[in-house]
């Protein structure tokens, strides 16, 4: 393992690996630690929006990802207890009109291999256990595998650990309380995901479903595998688990879905689940950009929208692009605190411009989907005017009007 790096990146998902590639290609020495061995599954809707593909091209993996991914997502859908509606997906800018779905086991491995090719020093399974020091000279203790430990000096720390775990901000000794933690209070939503084979879900269709106390979505990803992901409120989850005692929470939810949502029941009628239900949470939507000089967050660690809109991976790539541009522009690896503050301000500005409206729209849609008093009249409206679904998808970021690459 290298003992000195310009950037230490924590997390080997799309945000971490794409940040690693762009920094390495700008001449930075980059070390990346990932806690799991790959390939591995993640709780994720596995949708790559059309806006991802110019960035994946810029990373040099666009064609590989398109070849591996499922059919272009040309239709959007709405399901509730009795309705099953379809509308066209809004088109994005040429050359990529539509998004695709791709399992995280495949997608993350493609990006990690790309980072390795770019010269990134990668360690997995590994964890950062402490961070001390200041911008330009952070000292990090890392455990590699079950027993081995190593030390690393890094000018910049990039927190790409996703939304579910504590990032390096909590690892910095005697750090003052981070005001962003207030914004990122844990919600009452838990995330679940499973893959199915032999479903009757139509490839290229991306239906979301409204549940009393939750929401979810389904899509046919690579190799004909159907990804089903959902979020469920704590109180509803408790009721469902009491109705189906003695089974894992995800299995209880699957029973609940099959009985309470006609569209899901029909799609999964002959489907067989592959592997166990994965669960994680609680979900923390909102913005949590850190103001600690020299430590930056990217991807879900920086903030996330309700997963209903399926924009998490696209936002991961876009935030990585924005962060790396500002870090390179302000020569942040040299460790000057004022340069770090300027880079952090510029990144925060870009982040809010890119994502604030998506976060608000996603929050609004999530509330509609979770509350029958709202989802029922909305379902009726969509039944009469399916074009509203297309417009809703466009508002959620599914149609890029501006290029970003």
Partner 1 sequence: MTTLERLQDILVKDYHVARERLSPDAVLTDLGIDSLSSLELMFKIEDAFQVSIAEDTPTNLVTVADVVNYIDNLLPR
Can residue 280 be called a binding residue for partner 1 (CB under 8 A)? yes
Q: Which of 77, 263, 281, 303 binds partner 1 (CB under 8 A)?
A: 281
**Block residue for tokens 């009721």:** 239
Can residue 286 be called a binding residue for partner 1 (CB under 8 A)? no
Q: Which lies closer to partner 1 via its Cβ, residue 175 or residue 278?
A: 278
Can residue 248 be called a binding residue for partner 1 (CB under 8 A)? yes
The stretch near partner 1 (CB under 8 A) out of 80-88, 133-141, 209-217, 245-253 is: 245-253
Cα Rg of the chain (Å, integer): 21
Residue 233 Cβ vs partner 1, minimum distance, rounded to whole Å: 13
Binding string, residues 204-243; x marks residues near partner 1 by CB under 8 A = -------------------------------------x--
Can residue 275 be called a binding residue for partner 1 (CB under 8 A)? no
Binding string, residues 77-116; x marks residues near partner 1 by CB under 8 A = ----------------------------------------
Helix boundaries (H) for 303-336 = 312-329
Q: Which of 134, 188, 266, 336 binds partner 1 (CB under 8 A)?
A: 188
Can residue 175 be called a binding residue for partner 1 (CB under 8 A)? no
Cα distance between residue 98 and residue 228, in whole Å = 20
Dmax (CA) for the chain in angstroms is: 63
Cα distance between residue 211 and residue 87, in whole Å = 20
The stretch near partner 1 (CB under 8 A) out of 86-94, 254-262, 276-284, 342-350 is: 276-284
The residues with which 77 forms a beta bridge, in sequence order, are 86, 207
Residue 386 Cβ vs partner 1, minimum distance, rounded to whole Å: 36
CB-based burial label for 370 (10 Å; 0-12, 13-18, 19+): buried
Six-digit token string for 52: 């991802």
Can residue 244 be called a binding residue for partner 1 (CB under 8 A)? no
Q: Which of 203, 204, 224, 282 binds partner 1 (CB under 8 A)?
A: 282
Six-digit token string for 296: 């930056």
The CB-based long-range contact list for 162-165 (8 Å cut-off, 24+ gap) reads: 162/11, 162/13, 162/299, 162/300, 162/301, 163/283, 163/284, 163/300, 163/301, 163/304, 164/280, 164/281
Q: Which of 166, 182, 338, 349 binds partner 1 (CB under 8 A)?
A: 166
Can residue 278 be called a binding residue for partner 1 (CB under 8 A)? yes
Q: Distances in Å between the alpha carbon of 245 and those of 35, 152, 188, 274, 337?
A: 32, 48, 21, 22, 55
Can residue 186 be called a binding residue for partner 1 (CB under 8 A)? yes
Residues 21-50 that bind partner 1 (CB under 8 A): 35-36, 41-43
Q: Which of 165, 266, 291, 376 binds partner 1 (CB under 8 A)?
A: 165
Beta carbons of 33 and 127 less than 8 angstroms apart: yes
Nearest to 296 by CA among 255, 259, 333: 333
The stretch near partner 1 (CB under 8 A) out of 57-65, 247-255, 261-269, 320-328 is: 247-255
Q: Distances in Å between the alpha carbon of 234 and those of 127, 157, 281?
A: 30, 34, 10
Residue 157: strand, helix, or coil: strand
Nearest to 307 by CA among 401, 187, 404, 201: 187
The stretch near partner 1 (CB under 8 A) out of 11-19, 21-29, 186-194, 325-333 is: 186-194
- Output DSSP code: residue 268: T
Q: Which lies closer to partner 1 via its Cβ, residue 284 or residue 390?
A: 284
Can residue 292 be called a binding residue for partner 1 (CB under 8 A)? no
Q: Which of 22, 96, 190, 215 binds partner 1 (CB under 8 A)?
A: 190
Residue 107 Cβ vs partner 1, minimum distance, rounded to whole Å: 17
Q: Which lies closer to partner 1 via its Cβ, residue 93 or residue 184?
A: 184
Angle at 208 between CA 202 and CA 210, to 5 degrees: 135
Query: By rule CB under 8 A, what count of residues binds partner 1?
Result: 23
Which residues are at the interface with partner 1 (CB under 8 A)? 35-36, 41-43, 125, 146, 164-166, 185-186, 188, 190, 241, 248-250, 278-282
């Amino acid at each position: 393992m290298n003992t000195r790096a310009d950037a230490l990146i924590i997390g080997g998902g799309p945000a971490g690996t794409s940040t690693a590639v762009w920094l390495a290609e700008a001449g930075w020495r980059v070390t990346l630690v990932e806690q799991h061995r790959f390939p591995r599954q993640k709780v994720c809707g596995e949708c790559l929006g059309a806006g991802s593909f110019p960035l994946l091209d810029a990373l040099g993996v666009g064609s590989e990802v398109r070849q591996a991914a499922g059919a272009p997502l040309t239709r959007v859908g709405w399901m509730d207890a009795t309705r099953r509606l379809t509308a066209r997906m809004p088109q994005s800018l040429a050359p990529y009109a539509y998004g695709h779905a791709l399992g995280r086991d495949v997608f993350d491995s493609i990006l990690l291999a790309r980072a390795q090719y770019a010269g990134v020093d990668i360690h997995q399974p590994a964890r950062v256990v402490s961070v001390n020091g200041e911008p330009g000279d952070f000292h990090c203790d890392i455990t590699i595998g079950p027993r081995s430990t190593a030390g690393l000096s890094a000018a910049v720390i990039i927190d790409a650990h996703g939304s579910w775990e504590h990032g390096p901000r909590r690892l910095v000794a005697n750090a003052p309380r981070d005001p962003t933690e207030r914004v990122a209070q844990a919600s009452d939503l838990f995330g679940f995901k499973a893959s199915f084979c032999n479903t009757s879900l139509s490839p290229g269709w991306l239906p979301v479903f409204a549940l009393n106390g939750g929401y979810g979505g389904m899509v046919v990803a690579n190799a004909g595998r159907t990804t089903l992901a959902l979020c469920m409120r704590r109180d509803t989850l408790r009721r469902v688990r009491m109705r189906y005692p003695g089974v894992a929470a995800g299995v209880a939810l699957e029973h609940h879905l099959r009985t309470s949502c006609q569209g899901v029941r029909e799609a999964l009628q002959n489907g067989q689940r592959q592997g166990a239900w994965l669960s994680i949470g609680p979900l923390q939507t909102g913005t949590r950009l850190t103001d600690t000089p020299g430590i930056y967050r990217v991807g879900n660690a920086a903030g996330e929208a309700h997963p209903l809109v399926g924009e998490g991976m696209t936002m991961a790539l876009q935030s990585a692009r924005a962060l790396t541009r500002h870090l390179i522009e302000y020569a942040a690896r040299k460790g000057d605190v004022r340069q770090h503050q300027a880079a952090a301000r510029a990144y925060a500005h870009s982040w809010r411009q890119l994502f604030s409206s998506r976060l608000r729209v996603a929050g609004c849609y999530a509330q509609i989907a979770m509350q029958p008093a709202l989802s029922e009249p909305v379902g009726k409206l969509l039944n009469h005017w399916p074009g509203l679904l297309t417009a809703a998808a466009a508002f959620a970021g599914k149609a890029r009007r501006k290029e970003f690459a």
